[in-house]
Amino acid sequence: MNNFEHAHNQYLEPPDDDPVCEDGCGDTLERDLNGDWLCSNKFCPLKFSGVEKEMAEALVEFMDSSHTYKQRYEYAKLQINSLKEQIEELKWIIQENNK
Ligand SMILES: [Zn+2]
């Protein structure tokens, strides 16, 4: 399939999502100049062997947990803001009742 056919097919059937590096780092793949899918993560475990591969796999796990903790942190910030708003509302209600 040449680039034009490829682009035309993509136009007719847009892909849901770009594929991810399933056996490696889990990052989203990118197309190279030939249109083939390629993992551009230079620390992808698929690009290493032996102890270097183990280190790359440990890095993937670390990045995953780091992402999870960031999401939890963002969620906690939202909850804190919501609680602050509730406290302000309660303060207002108390003030109104003490008038
Ligand atoms: Zn990868």
User: pLDDT tens, 58-94?
Assistant: 999 999 999 999 999 999 999 999 999 999 999 999 9
- How far does the centroid of ligand 1 lie from the alpha carbon of residue 33, in Å? 18
Could you tell me the sign of the dihedral formed by the alpha carbons of 68, 70, 72, 74, in that order? negative
Query: Would you place residue 16 in the very low, low, confident or very high pLDDT band (cuts 50, 70, 90)?
Result: confident
Q: How far are the Cα atoms of 27, 51, 70 from residue 64, in angstroms, in the given order?
A: 11, 20, 10
CB 21 within 8 A of CB 44: yes
Given this model, what pLDDT does residue 99 score? 86
| pTM reported for the whole predicted model | 0.61
Amino acid at 52: E
DSSP structural state of residue 34: T
- Map tokens 């999870």 to a residue: 68
- How far does the centroid of ligand 1 lie from the alpha carbon of residue 49, in Å? 14
- How far does the centroid of ligand 1 lie from the alpha carbon of residue 20, in Å? 8
Given this model, what pLDDT does residue 15 score? 60
Q: Please give the structure tokens belonging to residue 38.
A: 């390629």
